[in-house]
A and B are shown apart, each in its own frame.
Chain A
Amino acid sequence: MPDEARLAAADQPLVFRPKPERPPPTSSIGVLGWMRANLFSSVSNALLTLLGAYIAIVFFTAIINWALVDAVWEASNRRECLDRVGRAGACWPGVIAWIPNLLYGLYPKDQVWRINIAFLILVAWALPLWLPRVRSKVGIGLSAVLLYPFLASYFFHGGAKDLLWTALIALGMAAFAWVWLTTLSERTTGLPFGAVVARLTGAPEDDEAATRTRARIAYAVLYLVAVGVTTQWSLSEVSTRYWGGLFLTLVISGFGITFSLPAGVMLALGRRSQMPFISLCSTAFIELFRSVPLITILFMFNTMLPLFLPVGVEVNRLVRAIVAVCLFAAAYMAEIVRGGLQAIPRGQYEAASAVGLGFWQSTALVIMPQALRIMIPTIVGNFIGLFKDTTLVSIIGLFDLLSMARAVGEDTTWLGLFLEPFFFITMIYFVFCFLMSQYSLNLERKLGAGQRR
């Protein structure tokens, strides 16, 4: 029978029939294979894995036990916490009770809404930058950097305003209105707000001069309305002495970040300048501020700024700190920008002057856009450093997030409670810095798309 079958098969044309594929050895695929390749590839690796796992488990169980399992969530003072769990568990009620102070410092409780509103305005101001089909992004970004501070400082500080101050606040308000009107008009009609107004009032489409005039009139009306609103609008004064917590940290780092980039660009251009005296001045400034610690600069401004100003002029502490932080950050930024400028090949400068661009035009239109793209990771790294460095203002007596956290342990109700507030603000700092660094990676990937090999 088998013979017959074989004979029958021999009549058929010979066809190659591969055996079914055997599955790969179980030790090289799936979870097991991954573990083998990544955790237990050799004896020494296996030992390392076990050691690492042991350390990780000990560390995490300790943290989780302390922060969650053994922690006390409701108590009226520290004594109560200590009686319940001793030092084995965290005493969170102290931190919870202090959260308003950690966020806003000693800012009057009934005025805290002003900070929140100002913060929401910033978010709303910057939001169009991420919206598609909005074309005036440069204008929106610049207005946020240049004009938002006026509006925000009135929200934060309030009080009486003179003519100049009213004009500036109104400028901020009008700019905010313009940002959203333009965003809406560009998203619906594809035209900027001024052009839409010109169309609506009957200016012919191809008459550029008329369009421009009507757009200007529209802005002027917008501004006058803002001035009117500003004169009617008043907020009670909150002295900077009461500013504190995360709010103060963000104010100082916000000032530092917005000031340091343009100042750094100017200093870097100055240092690379062909004019020896300007180059010398820029270099001296950069090297001096980079070679001393920030704390000495803060001390210097704290003790010497009152001496430098005319007799009788008082500068408030916060302003001294902000000036010091801004100058310090500018010096660091200058070196980063210089690095970016150096990376641009000479041909780019030569090509720019060959097409007839002057120094400022070629810098702004050809060199800087390329240099800034290369510099993004370092610039964001610098911002992160600046954000962390604002903690130093606590040494010269400002109540930033860190000093508020220290104050928890000095409060008589929560005496000696240090670890928990530190743990809490560590997480705040970490989240901010980590998000910034991840965003910069993301931005780098997006902007570098054309450069990728």
Chain B
Amino acid sequence: MARAAATAQPAAATARLSSLVNDSFARAIFYQLLTAAILVGGIWYLVSNTIANLSQRGMAAGFDFLDYTAGFNIVFTLIPYREGDSYFRVFQVGIANTLLVAVIGIVLATLIGLVMGLARLSTNWLIRTMARWYVEILRNTPLLLQIIAWYFGFFNLLPVPRQSFDWGGAFFLNNRGFYFPAPVPQDGFGWTGVALGLGIVAAVAIHRWARRRLEATGQSFPSVLAGVGLIVLLPTATFLATGSPLGWDIPALRGFNFRGGLSVPPTFCALIVALAIYTSCFIAEIVRAGIQSVSHGQTEAARALGVKPSRIMRFVILPQALRVIIPPLISQYLNLTKNSSLAIAIGFPDLVSVWMNTSLNQSGRAIPIVAMTMAFYCAVSLSVSLLMNLYNRRVQITER
């Protein structure tokens, strides 16, 4: 009896210990504590090294430099900027330029990508094959190479302003950039804007009403046509009624360069063209895959019900394809925005170029500058993916 108790005691202790090892909860706590310890140790190591390095090199960390005068010029700015402005203004200029490139690039890439995606599905062999090789060749070569090739191989080799390409005496392309007329609103132009706003509101209202009526009675109403008509006609009528209060500042050659109008530098053109073309290949593949993902039975079913061919695409195929197309499409938009940072290779002043390169080299504030740049890109990405998740939740097919 006593011997049994004596042997049972160490056995119980081992059992407790082994149960601690085998208990997944205890193990989880142990692993997490271990990770936390390694992480804290690593961060402490990095921070202490950084502090030592900073003090040794006489560098300062902190955000006080944001108010200092930057003192360098930026060749192209979307928002006003002077040489005497602060570093914080440089940051804003960089963000504005990056967003400008992103927005224009996204619009162009979507248009080209849509056309190419549909061309890849064409019944015409030649068109299909050409679209396929367009996609294969352009997406299998590095974007940076394309940007540099467009710049050094095309936009940089354009003729001087005196011999620039001239479209209708208003649009000019030369080695200094692309020049186009600037709209100059005059008194009363505000009314056209108001009319445009009213037109959009009315179009949305009509579309909603038409939809409700369609669901209630089954009678359709050409709400898209009516909406487009309202949005176009209302402002046009107002514009004409108020006496066309819009002037155009047309660029003109003065001496060696153009004066007046608006212009973008050749670096901008090269960046936009390369980004749009490169991204369009991926968008084309997304569009193709999305449309092919809708089973052929859907088309056949719609035909069997007697739906007009022109309506099959709009009411049967597209709504289902869009569910597949939109998430990767948005991620391509994000990629384009991130890829616009390659502007630095040809010297277009985007965020990375003016902020992470010029400002960093000049002020030496590596840590705050890197942190701010990353924070901007993270904010863009995370907010877009948040919207994306909301969208996905809305369009998800509710099964079972």
Q: Give A contacts to B, CB under 8 Å.
A: 38-39, 41, 45, 48-49, 52-53, 55-56, 274-278, 281, 287-288, 290-296, 299-300, 303-304, 306-311, 384, 388-389, 391-392, 394-395, 402, 405-406, 409, 418-419, 422, 425-426, 429-430, 433-434, 437
Contact = CB atoms under 8 A, between A and B. Distances in A.
B143 A291 contact: no
A48 B52 CA distance: 68
Given A291-B382, A303-B370, A437 B140 contact: yes
Given A292-B378, A303-B360, A395 B344 contact: yes
A441 B180 CA distance: 47
A425 B146 CA distance: 11
A391 B274 CA distance: 15
Interface in B119-143: 122-127, 130, 136-137, 140-143
Interface of B: 28, 31-32, 35-36, 39, 46, 49-50, 52-54, 56, 122-127, 130, 136-137, 140-145, 148-149, 152-153, 338-339, 341-342, 344-345, 352, 356-357, 360, 366-367, 370, 373-374, 377-378, 380-382
A406 B35 CA distance: 45
A56 B131 CA distance: 11
A52 B35 contact: no
A290 B335 CA distance: 10
A164 B382 CA distance: 45
Given A48-B126, A290-B381, A406-B152, 18 more contacts: A38-B123, A56-B130, A276-B32, A292-B373, A293-B352, A295-B342, A296-B356, A303-B370, A307-B50, A307-B366, A308-B49, A391-B145, A395-B344, A402-B144, A409-B152, A425-B145, A429-B140, A430-B140
A309 B53 CA distance: 8
Interface centre among A277, A405, A425, A429 (most CB of B within 10 A): A277
A238 to B, nearest CB: 26
B360 A426 contact: no
Contacts of A395: 144, 342, 344-345
A304 B144 contact: no
Nearest to A295: B341
12 contacts: A39-B126, A41-B123, A45-B124, A278-B32, A293-B377, A299-B356, A303-B366, A310-B49, A311-B52, A418-B149, A430-B137, A430-B141
Contacts of B144: 391-392, 394-395, 402
Contacts of A293: 338-339, 341-342, 352, 377
Given A291-B377, A295-B342, A311-B52, A426 B145 contact: yes
Contacts of A294: 338
A339 B271 CA distance: 32
Contact of A39 (B32, B36, B124, B360): B124
Q: Which of A300, A310, A429, A434 has the most CB of B within 10 A?
A: A300
Contacts of A433: 140-141
A389 B141 CA distance: 10
Q: Sorted from nearest, which 4 A-B pairs have the closest CB atoms? A: A291-B381, A38-B125, A433-B140, A388-B142
A53 B126 contact: yes
Nearest to B33: A277
A294 B378 CA distance: 13
Contacts, number: 159
Contacts of A308: 46, 49-50, 53
A434 B145 contact: no
A132 B213 CA distance: 69
B374 A288 contact: yes
Nearest to A40: B124
Contacts of A295: 341-342, 344, 352
Nearest to B338: A293
Contact of A55 (B54, B125, B130): B130
B381 to A, nearest CB: 3
B360 to A, nearest CB: 7
B120 to A, nearest CB: 13
B31 A278 contact: yes
Contacts of A52: 124, 126-127, 130
A429 B145 contact: yes
Nearest to A49: B126
Contact of B142 (A45, A303, A429): A429
Which of the listed residues A291, A300, A406, A429 has the most CB atoms from chain B within 10 Å of its own CB?
A291
Contacts of A296: 341, 352, 356, 370, 373-374, 377
A56 B367 CA distance: 51
Nearest to A309: B49
B127 A49 contact: yes
A422 B149 CA distance: 7
A303 B363 CA distance: 13
Nearest to A405: B145
A281 B341 contact: no
A389 B142 contact: yes
Contacts of B145: 391, 402, 405, 422, 425-426, 429
B377 A292 contact: yes
Contact of A299 (B56, B141, B352, B380): B352
Nearest to B131: A52
B360 A48 contact: no
Nearest to B56: A311
Contacts of A292: 338, 373-374, 377-378, 381
A48 B124 contact: yes
Contacts of B342: 293, 295, 392, 395
